[in-house]
Amino acid sequence: MILLILILTLAGFGAQATEQINTKSNGYLLCVNAITKVVTFPGKSVCPKGTKKLVLGAQGVAGTNGLTGPAGLPGKDGINGKDGKTLWNGNVDPVNALGSPGDMFINTITNTLFGPKGVDTGWPLGVSLVGPRGATGPAGATGPAGATGPAGATGPAGATGSVGAPAAPAFTLSSSAETRTVNTAATGFSIQSTGGPITSFAISATPPGMSFNTSTGTLNGTPTSISSATAYTVTASNATGTAFQTFTLTVTSLVYTVGSTGPGGGKVFYVALTPFACGPTLAATCSFLEAAPTTGASNWTDDEYAWSGNTNTPIGDADVRRTAVGTGYANTLAIVNQEAGGDTSGRAGTIARAYRGPNSLSDWYLPSQGELNQMCKWQRGQAWTSDATLCNNTGANNSGSGAEGFKTDTFYWSSTQSNIDSQAVVQDFTNGLFAGAQRNYFKANLYAVRPIRAF
């Protein structure tokens, strides 16, 4: 005991430190009474008077676990369970909590037998108690016919059954092909059903300008675009199926000849061997020229006018000196634009542009030098196929009769400005010595005007 106290005392003296004591990491303070040798734990950092301090060191690192001890002796066997001998049944398959090992179970709905229940495995998979259906036995002998019973009362009529599917559609077209001139009304076709009722029609495409009726399957209208022979597939449908027929449409171009009526209601006086540039900017292509008609609706009278209101100043657009067939529209627009804002009444270019004709078209104009020459040849019944040939004083109509309403005692204005700024080109429609000749005359002079249009 004395030795332990001495050891603790020495340790206490050696463990005096500045760290906080009475913690697991810094150690604990014990107090030893020098007389009674009793060791106390004050729980604070100082000891009572008459005792000595003894500091226990901090807790050391835990040691490793010791080896596992040997297994204990086997315990006694448990009490034996009851023998399996119960036959269970239910309308669902058994659960493992039901019954004891050795029991059996029958599912009365599916006629499946389960069991015996195992100690560790529980209920096994069931086995059907119903075997496969056996082969049909031979038919028994026919028994004797029973006596005829009394006639029963007639039962009520049964409900009407649902309507069966219709027969598949079938149909023919009133026409399988057609050729029409563009902008001429077409006959088209109608439908004749030869099968089940048709609920709807369709067509692969509708020709421009025409219409297709999806209820009746008819095609009609006026084709507006030229096309080679084009096949259109017509489809008829009902709940059972579809049927098809083909209609072929060819749309040809209009064929005009000199003297025929043009689209504007005038008379065609020129047919080009090859198409020519035309239109307000010469971006279009035309093949025909027609002159304003002098008889019928919106008839024209070849009154005389000055060429333009500005007689001495050249038109700023140098191209107004154009002479070729097809250039009169562009020339006339330049004349009208120069006069914009001024007095345009009684001026050849403005008067020609204001004409609308029987069909209310707005592209009439004053003919160019070349177009006026073709009109002169038409007036005299001369060949119109050569653009270079100048109209002359011979011809079937050179008798002063004024064919197609032309005057034979004056000149006609063209829309071509001459190389002299104050003059423009005219053509002699008289029956004189110089009939058909083209000349340059002052713009202020009054000469006849005949509007034309190209198409």
pLDDT tens track for 124-139? 988 998 888 878 878 8
Task: Specify which residues 181 forms β-bridges with.
Answer: 252
Reference 419, options 306, 322, 282; nearest CA is 322
Model pLDDT, residue 312? 65
Give every CB contact of residue 404 below 8 A, 6+ residues apart in sequence: 267, 269, 291, 294, 378, 379
Average pLDDT of the chain is 84
Residue 311: pLDDT band with limits 50, 70, 90: low
Separation of alpha carbons 249 and 247, rounded Å: 7
Query: pLDDT per residue over 265-310, tens digit each?
Result: 999 999 998 999 999 999 999 999 999 999 887 889 999 999 987 6
Query: pLDDT per residue over 352-391, tens digit each?
Result: 999 999 999 999 999 999 999 999 999 888 866 667 788 8
How many other β-carbons are positioned within 10 Å of the β-carbon of residue 408?
A: 19
Residue 156 is assigned to a structural domain of this protein: no
Residue 75 is assigned to a structural domain of this protein: no
Q: Which domain holds residue 234?
A: 171-252
110 shares its domain with 194: no
Reference 200, options 248, 234, 249; nearest CA is 234
Model pLDDT, residue 6? 35
286 shares its domain with 426: yes
CATH code, 236? 2.60.40.10
Q: How many domains does the chain have?
A: 4
Cα end-to-end distance, the chain, whole Å: 142
**Residue 417 pLDDT greater than 70, yes or no:** yes
**Residue 160 pLDDT greater than 60, yes or no:** yes
346 shares its domain with 274: yes
313 shares its domain with 398: yes
Reference 268, options 253, 288, 295, 254; nearest CA is 288
**Which run of H or E residues covers position 426?**
strand 423-428
Q: Are the CB atoms for 215 and 199 separated by under 8 Å?
A: no
Residue 130 is assigned to a structural domain of this protein: no
Residue 413 is assigned to a structural domain of this protein: yes
Domain end marker among 252, 280, 305: 252
Separation of alpha carbons 107 and 12, rounded Å: 83
Residue 359 is assigned to a structural domain of this protein: yes
Which residue in the block uniquely carries the two structure tokens 């038919």? 139
Separation of alpha carbons 105 and 99, rounded Å: 9
Residue 47 is assigned to a structural domain of this protein: yes
313 shares its domain with 402: yes
Residue 152 is assigned to a structural domain of this protein: no
Residue 81 is assigned to a structural domain of this protein: no
| pLDDT more than 70, % of the chain | 87
